[in-house]
Amino acid sequence: MNTPKYKRIMLKLSGESLAGEQGFGIDFDTVNRISKEIKEIIDMGVEVGAVVGGGNIWRGRSSGDMDRTTADYMGMLATCINAMALQSSLEQLGVMTRVQTAIEMKEVAEPYIRRKAVRHLEKGRVVIFAAGTGNPYFSTDTAAALRAAEIEAEVILLAKKVDGVYDSDPNINSNAVKFDKLSFTEVLEKDLKVMDSTASSLCRDNNIPIIVFALDEPGNIKKVLCGENIGTTVGNF
């Protein structure tokens, strides 16, 4: 089970996944653990693009205290902070990385240039796409879907707290049933909260499957990549 099923992937990490138990900010033990898992798949020759959310730093959208656009731009800046933390952690392990930002901030990181991103991937560098899509009203899930389409990633690995997609919330309903496979149409029709609908439709229209899995369990990134059936696969079935 050590042969990767995919050559180029997009890894979507939520901002919260970097916060560890503390639930806020950046917990470097947690980030380093994730980086080690990324290193494992880089060492297997897999090309890795990554999009990180920002919810561990800023959850402005639900605050109601400011307009949506401003809150979204603050969220985009939060993703840049997370991207730099992940970059630093990966580089301490000797993994080459590049951060590319959708909002130009040249002093901080290189701007997003698709062809450059692809060259970085071909050279074995992890490319961390920061600042979302650069636009308000779009989530980092949508950024992951968009960049995945652009760099021609074969799959999106969607790392979550739960180990897949359920028919109801497994934290509330102990009888919740986990799906092994789901179609995008079902996800959209049943309004299952895998990704937001913009991101889901983008993946459906561009035929990019998503594998939802739990990040908390060590070794899961490699398992998913090697085709172990541990989460829920969403695709055009």
Task: Please state the closest distance from residue 52 (CB atom) to ligand GTP, in A.
Answer: 17
Residue 81 tokens read as: 């902070």
Task: Please state the closest distance from residue 83 (CB atom) to ligand GTP, in A.
Answer: 12
Q: List, as one string, the DSSP characters of the chain.
A: --S-S-SEEEEEE-GGGGTGGG-SS--HHHHHHHHHHHHHHHHTT-EEEEEE--TTT--GGGT-SS-HHHHHHHHHHHHHHHHHHHHHHHHHTT--EEEEESS--TTTSEEP-HHHHHHHHHTTPEEEEESTTSSTT--HHHHHHHHHHHHT-SEEEEEESSSSEESS-TTT-TT--EESEEEHHHHHHTT--SS-HHHHHHHHHTT--EEEEESSSTTHHHHHHTT---SEEEE--
How far is Cα 170 from Cα 186, in angstroms, rounded to an integer?
A: 19
Q: Is 135 annotated as a binding residue?
A: yes
Task: Evaluate whether 48 touches 126 at the Cβ level (below 8 Å).
Answer: yes
Closest CB to ligand GTP among 65 and 106? 106
Q: Is 237 annotated as a binding residue?
A: no
Q: Is 134 annotated as a binding residue?
A: yes
Q: Is 235 annotated as a binding residue?
A: no
Q: Is 55 annotated as a binding residue?
A: yes
Which residue's Cβ has the minimum distance to ligand GTP?
110
Task: Please state the closest distance from residue 26 (CB atom) to ligand GTP, in A.
Answer: 20
Task: Please state the closest distance from residue 104 (CB atom) to ligand GTP, in A.
Answer: 8
Applying the rule CB under 6 A, the residues between 44 and 103 that interact with ligand GTP are: 98
Q: Per-residue contact track with ligand GTP, 95 to 124, x per CB under 6 A?
A: ---x-------xxxxxx-------x---x-
Q: Is 79 annotated as a binding residue?
A: no
Task: Please state the closest distance from residue 106 (CB atom) to ligand GTP, in A.
Answer: 4
Applying the rule CB under 6 A, the residues between 122 and 141 that interact with ligand GTP are: 123
Closest CB to ligand GTP among 110 and 216? 110
Binding site, annotated residues: 12-15, 54-55, 59, 72, 133-140, 166, 169
Residues in touch with ligand GTP (CB under 6 A): 98, 106-111, 119, 123
Binding site, annotated residues for UMP: 54, 72, 133-140
